[in-house]
């Protein structure tokens, strides 16, 4: 007589772990590239993780089957007669889950806890440095008297002297006088092309005789007669407000915030500009968070680019 073949009880194949892994991967990628991708990853990971956990705990949550107690009648001097009932025994509590199910759930929970303890610190050390401790410091460019009204001055300085030449910055500064509200106005253009970051050059004559070095940051100030700005790498051209007028750049030149303290000009946080309407003190600047060169900051095209990691 052939005995029935016994096969081990295995859980059916599931796609929930794959979806959960995809969500975790999107979270990690999104932390570097785009917060939108990270949010989508969180949603996918939570959804698939919930369904996966629900699927794994199904045997535990299933109601215990009802078992009818065996009943027979006791007889003296012989085996129980057919139809006679044994004394009714008190029903015993039926286990809601087996030992194998408990051990499997405990193993998965312990593995998840160990994985979290290992993964979270690693992610913290790998990702957090890109988001913290990157604040920009105000840089003194010298007395505002060194910036004649209506004229451009090239300001070159080291943003961090302890790091060295790699932090050298060049700005095109113009004193616009006063706004309609009586506040000082300065045009502060960053000399990095909005195409690929090449150094932009002023289209005009430098006044080498008027060059000077001022301030604790040893800022070099060079007067220049500017008719516009050009990129020597790929031919990008900008007007005196930093607007792109020709070539491949996708937006206007970046700018820096400024402040006046004790009669001195300070540069602050950098920001990106889509375009500028008007000129000088009456200019209307379309300001956005700072982005890397080649990235659109407005319109539908801006959604196609990742979020810039703070610096």
- Distance CA(277)–CA(285), nearest Å, equals 7
Q: Give which of 191, 182, 139, 190 is closest to 161, Cα–Cα.
A: 139
Element (H, E) at 233: none
Domain limits, the chain = 139-304
Longest dimension (CA), the chain: 131
- Tokens at 194, concatenated: 């909005």
- Answer with the residue of higher pLDDT: 145 or 115: 145
Element (H, E) at 197: none
Q: Give which of 292, 298, 259 is closest to 140, Cα–Cα.
A: 259
pLDDT per residue as tens digits for the range 47-77: 888 888 777 777 666 665 666 665 555 555 5
Mean pLDDT, range 141-163, rounded to an integer: 88
- Answer with the residue of higher pLDDT: 34 or 76: 34
Q: Which of 230-239, 254-263, 293-302 has the lowest mean pLDDT?
A: 293-302
Confidence of residue 309 (pLDDT cuts 50, 70, 90): very low
- Answer with the residue of higher pLDDT: 88 or 260: 260
Tell me how many degrees the CA angle 150-218-269 measures, rounded to the nearest 5: 65
pLDDT at 311: 46
Please give the C-alpha separations between residue 306 and each of 23, 36, 125, 181, in angstroms, as whole numbers: 18, 9, 22, 38
User: Is the pLDDT confidence value at 7 over 80?
Assistant: no
Please give the C-alpha separations between residue 279 and each of 45, 163, 201, 241, in angstroms, as whole numbers: 50, 36, 20, 7
pLDDT at 114: 77
User: Is the pLDDT confidence value at 290 over 80?
Assistant: yes
pLDDT at 25: 86
pLDDT at 132: 55
Q: Is 223 exposed, middle or buried (0-12, 13-18, 19+ CB in 10 A)?
A: buried
pLDDT at 96: 56
Most confident of 24-28, 89-93, 102-106, 170-174: 170-174
Name the CATH superfamily housing domain 139-304: Rieske [2Fe-2S] iron-sulphur domain (2.102.10.10)
- Answer with the residue of higher pLDDT: 21 or 309: 21
Confidence of residue 308 (pLDDT cuts 50, 70, 90): low
pLDDT at 88: 54
Look over the chain and give the mean of its residue pLDDT values, rounded to a whole number: 79
């Amino acid at each position: 007589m052939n005995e029935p073949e016994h096969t081990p009880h295995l859980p059916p194949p599931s796609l929930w772990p794959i979806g959960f892994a995809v969500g975790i991967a999107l979270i990690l990628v999104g932390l570097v590239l785009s917060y939108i991708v990270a949010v989508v990853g969180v949603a996918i990971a939570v959804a698939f993780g919930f369904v996966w956990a629900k699927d794994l705990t199904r045997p535990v949550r299933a109601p215990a089957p009802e078992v009818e107690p065996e009943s027979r009648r006791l007889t003296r001097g012989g085996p129980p007669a057919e139809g006679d009932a044994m004394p009714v025994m008190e029903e015993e509590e039926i286990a809601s889950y087996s030992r194998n199910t408990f051990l499997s759930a405990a193993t998965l929970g312990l593995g998840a806890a160990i994985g979290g303890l290992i993964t979270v610190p690693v992610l913290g050390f790998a990702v957090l440095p890109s988001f913290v401790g990157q604040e920009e410091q105000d840089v003194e460019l010298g007395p505002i008297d060194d910036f004649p009204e209506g004229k451009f001055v090239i300001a070159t300085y080291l943003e961090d002297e302890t790091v060295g030449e790699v932090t050298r910055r060049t700005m095109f500064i113009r004193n616009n006088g006063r706004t309609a509200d009586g506040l000082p106005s300065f045009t502060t253009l960053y000399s990095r092309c909005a195409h690929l970051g090449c150094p932009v050059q002023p289209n005009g004559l430098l006044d080498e005789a008027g060059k000077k070095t001022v301030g604790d940051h040893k800022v070099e100030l060079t007067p220049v007669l500017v008719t516009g700005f050009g990129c020597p790498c790929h031919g990008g051209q900008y007007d005196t407000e930093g607007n792109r007028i020709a070539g491949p750049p996708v937006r206007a030149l970046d700018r820096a915030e400024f402040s006046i303290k004790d009669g001195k000009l300070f540069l602050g946080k950098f920001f990106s500009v889509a375009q500028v309407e008007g000129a000088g003190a009456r200019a209307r600047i379309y300001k956005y968070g700072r982005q890397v060169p080649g990235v659109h900051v407005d319109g539908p095209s801006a959604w196609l680019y990742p979020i810039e990691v703070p610096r």
